[in-house]
Structure 1
Amino acid sequence: MMLEINLLPGTKKGRKSASGGFALGGAFGAIRSTIRDPFLVGAAASVVVAVAAVGLLFSAQSARATEVEGRMERAVRDSTRYATVLSARRKLTAERDSVIRQLQIIRTIDDNRYTWAHILDEVSRALPAYTWLTTMEQTSKAPLPPGVDSVQTAEAPAAAGAAAKKKAADEAATDTLVVNPPLGFRLVGQTVDIQALTMFMRQLESSPFVQKVTLAKSEIVIVEGKDVTQFELSAEFEVPPPGVVRTTPLVVPVR
Structure 2
Amino acid sequence: MIEIDLSPGGGRSGNGASARASAARRPLRLYLRDAWIVASGLVVVGCAVVSTALLVSGRGRTALVASALDSAARDSLRIATVVSESRAMESRLDSLGDRASAIRRLDSRRFLWPRLLDEVARALPDEAWLVQIAQLDAGEGATRFSVEGRSIGTIALSRFWDGLEASDFIRNVRLLSTEHLVEPISGSRPPRTRYSFVLEAEYEARASHSAESLPLTARPEFP
Q: Give the TM-score, by structure 1 length.
A: 0.58
The Cα shift of 1:210 comes to 1.3
Q: Is the aligned partner of 1:231 residue 2:191?
A: no
Deviations 1:117-175 (Å, cap 9, x if unpaired)?
1111111110123212211111115x9xxxxxxxxxxxxxxxxxxxxxxxxxxxxxxxx
Residue 200 (structure 1) aligns with: 160
Which has the higher mean CA deviation after the structures are superposed, 231-240 or 190-199? 190-199
Cα 1:194/1:62, change in 2 over 3 Å:
farther
Work out the CA distance in 1 between the residues paired with 2:115 and 2:28: 129
Measured in 2, the distance between the counterparts of 1:3 and 1:47 equals 56
Shift of 1:204: 0.6
User: 2:59 aligned with 1:62, yes or no?
Assistant: yes
| Residue aligning to 1:28 | 31
Rounded Cα–Cα distance in structure 2 between residues aligned with 1:47 and 1:234: 107
Q: Residues 98-177 of structure 1: matches in 2 within 5 Å?
A: 104-140=101-137
Which amino acid letter does the alignment assign opposite residue 159 of structure 2?
A: M
Q: Is contact 1:118–1:209 with CA below 8 Å preserved after alignment?
A: no
Larger Rg: 2
What one-letter code is carried by the residue in structure 2 that aligns with 1:208?
Answer: D
Number of equivalent positions = 201
Return the match for 2:176 from 199, 216, 224: 216
The equivalent of 2:142 in structure 1 is: 182
More strand by share: 2
Preserved contact between residue 208 and residue 241 of structure 1 (Cα < 8 Å): no
Q: Of the two structures, which has the highest relative contact order with CA contacts closer than 8 Å and spacing of 6 or more?
A: 1
Letter of the structure 1 residue corresponding to residue 153 of structure 2: D
Aligned to 2:219: none
Question: Tell me, what secondary structure is at the counterpart of 1:63?
Answer: helix
Identity over aligned pairs, percent: 27
Looking at structure 2, the residues matched to 56 and 16 of structure 1 have their Cα atoms a distance apart, in angstroms, of 47
CA-CA distance at 1:201 after TM superposition: 1.6
> Once structures 1 and 2 are overlaid, which stretch shifts more, 109-118 or 85-94?
85-94
Deviations 1:86-116 (A, max 9, x none): 7777777666666665555554444322111
TM-score by length of 2: 0.65
- CA displacement at 1:70 relative to structure 2: 2.6
CA distances 1:161-212 after superposition (whole Å, capped 9, x unpaired): xxxxxxxxxxxxxxxxxxx753211111122322322221221122122122
Moved more, 21-30 or 230-239: 21-30
